[in-house]
A and B are shown apart, each in its own frame.
Chain A
Amino acid sequence: MAIRQKTLMRLAPWAVTLFLVIMWEGICVSFAVPEFLMPAPSAVFKAGIATAGPIFEHATQTFFTTLVGFALAVAVGLVIGAVVGSSPLVYKALYPMLVGFNSIPKVAFVPVLVVWFGIGTVPAILTAFLISFFPVVVNVATGLATLEPELEDVLRSLGASRLDILRKVGLPRAMPYFFASLKVAITLAFVGSVISETVASNLGIGYLMMSASSSMNMPLVFAGLIVIGAMGVVMYELFAALERRLTGWAHRGAGAAL
């Protein structure tokens, strides 16, 4: 019984995906939806195969742009989060600023970046960075700020310095929050880089989709969307697995079920 439950869990996402694709195909075919409005999955697949080379090239560009932006976001987010989370004063001082900044739609920022850095990869990296560093900051700060004073006392009673406390309890305690934020941040980073590519680049999946849509090549647009989604899912799963491996202690109840 338990084993059947497990296989069911493993197969469920594939089954749902397959079901949706079949529904989509069925609707497109039975209502004869024109391809330039809504291409059927088969048409998208065909377009994907036919343009596999360019898609791969642009996807690679988007992938690495996203990763660089994401890596920057993690590094900067970790540092700002650590500072914000370990000092109530900095927390109070910076928080409104951060929240305000995060409320600005990043697409509105792209033109500014283009003026500063020109069209191309740099604005895409920076947009990915800008959109994805906030969740890292918030989560690391929350993890540190919600540290139980009792655990801190264990270290303090030994005469530990503030740095010791941060290293021995603060950061380990914040790790589950940090890894949870990575899953969110990586998907947001894709959003950021693709937005920027759509507006201001001649490389990347975003650009490919933009040029395809201007020539009414809807199947290719959809192929691009699916590639972005797939990259997002793969990266999300990667970080989810990393999270389970490294912070299993925080998920012991749920971890058993997964």
Chain B
Amino acid sequence: MSFVRFENVSLAYTEDGPRAIEDVSLDVREGEFVAVVGPSGCGKSTLMKLVSGLRLPNDGYVYVNGRQVGGPLNLVGMAFQAANLLPWRTTLQNVMLPMEIVEPYRSELRSKRAEFEQRARAQLAAVGLAGCEDKFPWELSGGMQQRASICRALIHKPRLLMLDEPFGALDAFTREELWCMLRDLWQAQPFTVILVTHDLREAVFLADTVYVMSARPGRILERREIDLPRPRDLDLTYTDQFARHVHALREHIGHVRKH
């Protein structure tokens, strides 16, 4: 039984406009870590919007948790490509936002606010944002905003975590640190992850399965299972095995770009 299932899904943003993605089919198991790579503008963010129910397909079907997606679901946590923090809220208040919306936290918020805030603080500390809780988003750097938005996506412990290029604006060291954070979180308490990225090493290091998409209109060109043993360590990224996976993906992307 797949947790997320696409059956021949197509979407055009405007009627009789060009299709952003076309005839996409894929299956994601519960607890699977999936990465999606592809050239810019190929429809990766569109794919995320379809899974989260922010957009409905023109053709085909999207299923999440065994049900056809007809609108947003609260078992999803999503970090958007842009951080999209609310500028009138402090970092902590931004991270707390899902707790004010998603049940059962919503009804418990009154009695357990302190506990939830503690959780938000711990989450922020885990991404290196301790001490920034009371700052407003515009007082944070781009990378810090992105990290805060990851915290917001995680805070309500979603069963399906969607990350749209979450580490794009970070330096190499912070990025690798956050890979490990995400890996540990996922390892400790498995949930399903769909990660969009441009970084092939990131995809191979984190994912069980990598999908390669073609240039627009986006189609799935290749599904590659990453059979590297877990738990994975950063040292793994220097092995031949790892490099082979990256190379193979690289070939496909290069192929896409020639056409």
Partners in one complex: yes
Among B72, B87, B136, the residue within 8 A (CB) of A158 is: B72
B interface list, Cβ under 8 A from A: 49, 52-54, 71-74, 76, 78, 80, 82, 84, 86-88, 97-98, 100-102, 136, 138, 152, 156
For residue A156, CB closer than 8 A to chain B, the reply is yes
What's the least CB distance linking B67 to chain A, in Å?
Answer: 13
3 closest pairs, A vs B, by CB? A159-B74, A158-B101, A157-B78
For residue A172, CB closer than 8 A to chain B, the reply is yes
C-alpha gap A200/B123 in the complex (Å):
65
Q: Are B88 and A172 in contact (CB under 8 A)?
A: yes
Q: Are A153 and B80 in contact (CB under 8 A)?
A: yes
Q: Are A249 and B87 in contact (CB under 8 A)?
A: yes
For residue A27, CB closer than 8 A to chain B, the reply is no
What's the least CB distance linking A97 to chain B, in Å?
Answer: 31
Annotate A142-163 by CB proximity to B: 1 below 8 A, 0 otherwise: 0000000011011111111000
Hey, which chain A residues are within 8 Å of B136, CB to CB?
249
C-alpha gap A114/B87 in the complex (Å):
48
C-alpha gap A73/B144 in the complex (Å):
42
Annotate A168-181 by CB proximity to B: 1 below 8 A, 0 otherwise: 11001101000000
C-alpha gap A221/B143 in the complex (Å):
62
C-alpha gap A221/B226 in the complex (Å):
87
Q: Are B86 and A164 in contact (CB under 8 A)?
A: no
Beta-carbon nearest neighbor of B106 in chain A: A164
Q: Are B88 and A160 in contact (CB under 8 A)?
A: no
Given A151-B86, A154-B78, A247-B88: 8 more A-B contacts, CB < 8 Å = A153-B80, A156-B54, A156-B72, A157-B76, A158-B98, A158-B101, A164-B101, A168-B101
C-alpha gap A250/B138 in the complex (Å):
10
Q: Are A153 and B54 in contact (CB under 8 A)?
A: yes
Q: Are B100 and A159 in contact (CB under 8 A)?
A: no
- Number of A residues whose C-beta is below 8 Å from B? 20
Q: List 27 A-B contacts (CB under 8 A).
A: A153-B54, A153-B84, A154-B78, A154-B84, A154-B86, A155-B101, A156-B54, A157-B53, A157-B54, A157-B76, A158-B72, A158-B76, A158-B97, A158-B102, A159-B71, A159-B72, A159-B74, A160-B72, A168-B97, A168-B100, A172-B88, A247-B88, A249-B88, A249-B136, A249-B138, A250-B87, A252-B138
Among B73, B87, B97, B102, the residue within 8 A (CB) of A154 is: B97
Q: Are A159 and B84 in contact (CB under 8 A)?
A: no
What's the least CB distance linking A171 to chain B, in Å?
Answer: 10
What's the least CB distance linking A8 to chain B, in Å?
Answer: 28
Q: Are B102 and A150 in contact (CB under 8 A)?
A: no
Hey, which chain A residues are within 8 Å of B76, CB to CB?
157-158
C-alpha gap A155/B52 in the complex (Å):
12
Q: Are B80 and A150 in contact (CB under 8 A)?
A: yes
Beta-carbon nearest neighbor of A253 in chain B: B138
- Report A63-85 residues with CB < 8 Å from chain B CB: none
SS class, residues of chain B in contact with chain A: loop
Hey, which chain A residues are within 8 Å of B49, CB to CB?
153
Q: Are A175 and B88 in contact (CB under 8 A)?
A: yes
Q: Are B98 and A150 in contact (CB under 8 A)?
A: no
What's the least CB distance linking B88 to chain A, in Å?
Answer: 5
C-alpha gap A155/B77 in the complex (Å):
11
Annotate A82-125 by CB proximity to B: 1 below 8 A, 0 otherwise: 00000000000000000000000000000000000000000000
Hey, which chain A residues are within 8 Å of B74, CB to CB?
158-159
Hey, which chain B residues are within 8 Å of A175, CB to CB?
88
Hey, which chain B residues are within 8 Å of A154, CB to CB?
78, 80, 84, 86, 97, 152
Hey, which chain B residues are within 8 Å of A173, CB to CB?
88
C-alpha gap A218/B224 in the complex (Å):
90
Hey, which chain A residues are within 8 Å of B87, CB to CB?
249-250
Interface centre among B72, B74, B102 (most CB of A within 10 A): B72
Q: Are A160 and B101 in contact (CB under 8 A)?
A: yes
Beta-carbon nearest neighbor of A165 in chain B: B101
Q: Are A159 and B73 in contact (CB under 8 A)?
A: yes
Among B73, B82, B152, the residue within 8 A (CB) of A150 is: B82
What's the least CB distance linking B164 to chain A, in Å?
Answer: 11
Beta-carbon nearest neighbor of A149 in chain B: B54
C-alpha gap A172/B88 in the complex (Å):
7
C-alpha gap A63/B228 in the complex (Å):
77
Among B52, B82, B100, B138, the residue within 8 A (CB) of A157 is: B52
What's the least CB distance linking A159 to chain B, in Å?
Answer: 4
C-alpha gap A79/B5 in the complex (Å):
43
